[in-house]
Amino acid sequence: MQLKEMSKEELEAFLSENKAKLENFKEKNLSLNMARGKPSTQQLDLAVKMLASVNSFDADYSASDGTDCRNYGGLEGICDAKELFAPMLGVSTDEIIIGGNSSLNLMYDTIAKGIIFGVNGVDKPWKDYEKIKWICLVPGYDRHFAICESFGIEMINVPLGKDGPDMDMIESLVANDDTIKGIWCVPMYSNPTGITYSDEVVRRFANLKPKANDFRIFWDNAYCIHHLTDTPDKLLNILDECKKAGTEDMVYIFASTSKISFAGGGIAVLGASKKNVDYLLSLMTIQTIGFDKINQLRHVKFFGSYEGLKEHMKKHAEIIKPKFDVCLEALDKEIAPLGIGEWHKPHGGYFISFNSMDNCAKKIVSLCKEAGVVLTSAGATFPYGKDPNDSNIRIAPTFPTVDELRQAIEIFCIAVKIASAEKLLSEK
């Protein structure tokens, strides 16, 4: 029976039953966390042999072109790392920069350079505008939005659907407003909704005709090889499509091994047209003496090839797929029949995006917290932390153990039921 079809009395009984269940959990003093997309200890253990791949017994610290990875130089990354990661981004080895340990840092710095210097070939830096704007797909990644907010960039929400964002809206926005300088995209296994952009959406991105010649697509392909199933989603190569459309300078592609090797101890990469790469390197050579080449060599020696990277990701999937299943099964069993929430079953990535009935998300997060389950703050998936419907909640199932998760998602379902019943009762 759908919850909204219940009588007042039925709802009250339902509410009090679930409140009692929540009270039971409260007494257990649990401390469970489904808030951040962190790999679990078991996942981190998968790559520990990498830490021995460049060591004192090895006595070979050279890239295959002879570069001593322990010394200065090699701003753009060692040749072997470029070869390893170029196919992951779908670019050639002269269209890639191997960065430090954080792709977020590469994105932030790329915007900072736009602000201070402007983008390649455009003389006017963004600091010389009264205000610039950014398109933010919602729900989306809180740290993307935080960067815009920090820089004082005005964010424009565009809804994300099942096969990508509302392209009509994006085409119209960028065609008419030359103060719109960028857009955040997580095109594959989107954070948090888990959807992947359709071929048509990617082609429409490549064929955008922005009024601003310094408009840039920030293509954060964070989950490009982070599949959960044997039938993964497929994403069209944006740089290839841009080349066909003659817009290859319009896109920057980002990824990292933070959720492949080590979170914070991995390698971040940036893919772009040769022109953009050369321009960014011309600025980066002033900013740093180069990134950590020893860590690049470690990754190269451990993974060997792009095939090796993909094989490694199967081990991650083995660990985290059951966690997604625990959550999705609970939602299917507990929430679906009641008609009080919606979600997508992702084929990869790190999140399940749950949409409650309107005006329930904050309440659900707060109820969970009372029972010892920490969730990402309601609203966090929207710019300025403001979810206009107060309905989206990002569930991050990777870090807890399966047993912890089983409890956490049970509590979550109870919280959804309580918040939904209270809402329906208040409307009776």
Residue numbers 197-236 binding a second copy by CB under 8 A: none
> Which of the stretches 166-174, 235-243, 292-300, 333-341 binds a second copy when contact is defined by CB under 8 A?
292-300
What residue type is assigned to position 11 of the chain? L
Closest to 88 (Cα-Cα) out of 197, 196, 192, 226: 226
What is the closest distance, in whole angstroms, from the C-beta atom of residue 367 to a second copy in the complex?
Answer: 26
Q: Which is nearer to a second copy, 288 or 305 (CB)?
A: 288
Chosen residue from 172, 288, 305, 389 binding a second copy by CB under 8 A:
288
In Å, the largest CA–CA distance within the chain is: 77
Chosen residue from 16, 150, 176, 401 binding a second copy by CB under 8 A:
150
Chosen residue from 29, 41, 231, 426 binding a second copy by CB under 8 A:
41
Contact 220, 184 (CB under 8 A): yes
Q: How many CB atoms lie within 10 A of CB 29?
A: 8
Q: Order the strands of the 341-343 sheet from edge to edge.
A: 341-343, 352-356, 392-395
Closest to 325 (Cα-Cα) out of 373, 397, 259: 397
Cα atoms in the 13 Å half-sphere on the side-chain side of 298: 21
CA distance 80 to 41: 28
Residue 256 per-residue DSSP state:
E
Rounded to 10 degrees, the C-alpha dihedral 343/346/349/353 comes to: 0
Number of residues that bind a second copy (CB under 8 A): 57
What is the closest distance, in whole angstroms, from the C-beta atom of residue 399 to a second copy in the complex?
Answer: 9
Does residue 295 touch a second copy according to CB under 8 A?
Answer: yes
What is the closest distance, in whole angstroms, from the C-beta atom of residue 72 to a second copy in the complex?
Answer: 4
Q: Which is nearer to a second copy, 3 or 147 (CB)?
A: 147
Q: Which is nearer to a second copy, 193 or 398 (CB)?
A: 398
Does residue 265 touch a second copy according to CB under 8 A?
Answer: yes
CA angle 78, 79, 82 (to 5 degrees): 90
What is the closest distance, in whole angstroms, from the C-beta atom of residue 271 to a second copy in the complex?
Answer: 20
- Using alpha carbons only, how large is the chain's radius of gyration in Å? 23
> Which of the stretches 39-47, 186-194, 203-211, 346-354 binds a second copy when contact is defined by CB under 8 A?
39-47
Residue numbers 329-358 binding a second copy by CB under 8 A: none
Chosen residue from 28, 127, 244, 369 binding a second copy by CB under 8 A:
127
Task: Say how many Å lie between the first and final Cα of the chain, rounded.
Answer: 18
What residue type is assigned to position 268 of the chain? A
Q: In which element (H, E) is residue 376 found?
A: none
Closest to 135 (Cα-Cα) out of 190, 89, 172: 172
Chosen residue from 8, 28, 49, 275 binding a second copy by CB under 8 A:
49
In 173-265, the DSSP E strands lie at: 180-185, 216-220, 251-256
Q: Which is nearer to a second copy, 179 or 366 (CB)?
A: 179
Chosen residue from 22, 44, 156, 245 binding a second copy by CB under 8 A:
44
Does residue 60 touch a second copy according to CB under 8 A?
Answer: no
What is the closest distance, in whole angstroms, from the C-beta atom of residue 198 to a second copy in the complex?
Answer: 30
Rounded to 10 degrees, the C-alpha dihedral 286/144/252/127 comes to: -50
Contact pattern for a second copy over residues 64 through 103, marking x by CB under 8 A: ----xxxxxxx-------------------------xxx-
What residue type is assigned to position 152 of the chain? G
Does residue 250 touch a second copy according to CB under 8 A?
Answer: no
Q: Please report where in the chains the tokens 């983008």 appear, as a residue.
A: 119
Q: Which is nearer to a second copy, 29 or 41 (CB)?
A: 41
Does residue 171 touch a second copy according to CB under 8 A?
Answer: no
Q: Which residues contact a second copy (rule: CB under 8 A)?
A: 36, 38-39, 41, 44, 48-52, 54-59, 61, 68-74, 100-102, 104-105, 108-109, 112, 115-117, 127, 143, 146-147, 150-151, 258, 262-265, 283, 286-295
